[in-house]
Amino acid sequence: MGFSVTIASSIVLIGIITAFVSVSTTMLCGFREVYKAANDYLSGEKERLDVRLDLDVNSVNANSCNITVKNLGSKTIFLSSQNGFQWNTIVVSYENNSQWHSYLIENYQVLEIKVSGTNTTFNITIHNFINPGEEAQIFFSVPEDAPDISLNGVVDVAFVTHYGISAKKEAVR
């Protein structure tokens, strides 16, 4: 009876140690993955905190708008597309005949980039981004098959960056 108890106890002890090592390894790997995910999330949030925008709607016509986007943060906002990737999107929504229409605009035209509060402008073919303290005047049209923006109708315009930050304003035609 003494020898079989020792063998049985050894088998149980080996099973407990194996289970403990297995659970510990799984928990360590899980904690490492949680740490990586939290670190990635915090890095993304830090990047977003560095981006601040302001938007003004300068004019609204029946099928187009002119806006000014100001970079108040510390990150550069790129405006021109690269290899088919558009860095930013403009979202326009308006009411026509008691029905709201919303469109994503990625084909917009940058008219002017300048230092905020001054008349100092940049050549937009070379300087196609907005550094901190700069602003861009942008023109866009709604799609051709879209209904016109109603006279005295409310228009919502949002400028969304590739950082995930947006600026939004309302205007009336």
Check whether residue 88 and residue 144 sit in a common domain: yes
Check whether residue 45 and residue 58 sit in a common domain: no
Strands (E), 17-149: 53-60, 64-71, 77-78, 89-96, 99-105, 109-115, 121-122, 129-130, 134-141
- The mean of the pLDDT values for the chain is 88
Check whether residue 68 and residue 14 sit in a common domain: no
pLDDT in the model for residue 43: 79
pLDDT in the model for residue 10: 84
**Which domain covers residue 2, as residue numbers?**
1-49
Check whether residue 19 and residue 99 sit in a common domain: no
Check whether residue 43 and residue 105 sit in a common domain: no
Q: How many structural domains are present in the chain? A: 2
Calpha distance 82→78 (Å, rounded): 10
Check whether residue 105 and residue 29 sit in a common domain: no
Single pTM value for the model: 0.71
Calpha distance 41→44 (Å, rounded): 5
Q: What is the pLDDT of residues 63-81, one digit of tens each?
A: 999 999 999 988 889 887 7
Check whether residue 43 and residue 82 sit in a common domain: no
Q: What is the pLDDT of residues 8-60, one digit of tens each?
A: 888 888 989 999 999 999 999 999 999 999 888 887 777 767 788 999 999 99
Check whether residue 32 and residue 86 sit in a common domain: no
pLDDT in the model for residue 42: 83
* CATH number of residue 161's parent domain: 2.60.40
pLDDT in the model for residue 2: 65
Check whether residue 35 and residue 14 sit in a common domain: yes
Q: Is 140 within 8 Å of 155 (Cβ atoms)?
A: no
Check whether residue 97 and residue 151 sit in a common domain: yes
φ and ψ at residue 171, rounded to 5 degrees: -145, 170
